[in-house]
Amino acid sequence: MNRNGSVVFEPLLIVSRSVRTSRNRETPPLHLWVSKLAYPVTALGPGERLALWVSGCGLRCRGCITPNLWDRHAGVRKTTGAVAERLLAVSRRLDGLTITGGEPFEQAGALAELLRQIRAARPHWSVLIYSGHTLASLRRHGAEEEGLLGQTDVLIDGPYRSDRPARHPLAGSGNQTVHLLTERGRGMLEQIKALPMAHANLGFGTNDDDDWLIGVMDPATRRAINTRLGARSSRRT
């Protein structure tokens, strides 16, 4: 963390260039719509994590705190190789990657490819993903969703419901469920149980106007913190 105990928060302004990946050369590169990254984030999963926000979400949950990311063009379109290169350029030792948005499973194929590249370079990282879809519906969707679920250790699923107060430190509303999908995910159970409610990080942006409150908390708590901080913008995940 920086001298203020806060996280570095950056727009993903990645310079595109040719990146060789494990995909064969005839395969066109997959692209991702991505918005921002932040690290070290302690409010979106166990340990110190890299958080990645993708852009684009068609679910339109009432009370969503990131409607600014519903349009995928709010972010930038980059190859998975370029995004992986940017994430792996973070030199700080981190415990994992949290992907939120936006709706990650709207880009399931490209995110699965990104995670294959990340896992090859950071095998010790855990992967936590937020989705507005339920796990059951994702499993009915198809191969790309299955592929991304196969790369996910912890899934927090379900749409945001402002009328259902959250009861879990990682869930934005009471209908959402934390699924431990892998052996690594199940091994995180005690760490997850120890997470405090309404824990937040303040991400100081690279521009004066893009500081964000990062974390999962009820709207009243968020408003109170933002009022105290004078923060201009905030989000749940």
Q: Which of 75, 96, 101, 203 touches ligand SF4 (CB under 6 A)?
A: 101
Compose the 147-166 pattern: x for residues touching ligand SF4 by CB under 6 A, - for all others: ------------xx------
Site string for ligand SF4, 160-199 (x = CB under 6 A): x---------------------------------------
46/172 with CB nearer ligand SF4: 172
Instruction: Determine if 215 is a binding residue for ligand SF4 (CB under 6 A).
Output: no
User: Minimum distance from CB of 101 to ligand SF4 (Å)?
Assistant: 5
One DSSP character per residue, 141-195 reads H-HHHHHHHTT-SEEEES---TTS---STT-SSTT-EEEE-SHHHHTTHHHHHTP
Question: What amino acid is encoded at 217 in this protein?
Answer: M
Give how many residues touch ligand SF4 by CB under 6 A: 12
Residue 190 to residue 236: CA distance in whole angstroms? 23
Phi, psi of 97 (to 5 degrees): -125, 130
**C-alpha pair distances (Å), 220 with each of 78, 140, 233:** 36, 36, 15
Q: Which helix (H) or strand (E) holds 78?
A: strand 76-79
Phi, psi dihedral angles at 78 (to 5 degrees): -135, 155
Q: Compute CA distances 192 → 28, 66, 107, 134, 174, whole Å.
A: 38, 24, 26, 20, 16
Binding to ligand SF4 by residue 34, rule CB under 6 A?
Answer: no
> Could you tell me if 129 and 99 are in contact, meaning their C-beta atoms sit under 8 angstroms apart?
yes
* 17-25, 99-107, 148-156, 181-189 -> range binding ligand SF4 (CB under 6 A): 99-107
Q: Which residue from 7, 51, 57, 128 is in contact with ligand SF4, where contact means CB under 6 A?
A: 57
CB of 159 to ligand SF4, least distance (A): 5
Between 59 and 180, name the residue whose CB sits nearer to ligand SF4.
59
Phi (first) and psi of residue 146, to 5 degrees: -60, -40
- Contact call for residue 61 and ligand SF4 (CB under 6 A): yes
Least Cβ distance, residue 57 to ligand SF4 (angstroms): 3
User: Contact positions toward ligand SF4, by CB under 6 A?
Assistant: 57, 59-61, 64, 66, 101-103, 132, 159-160
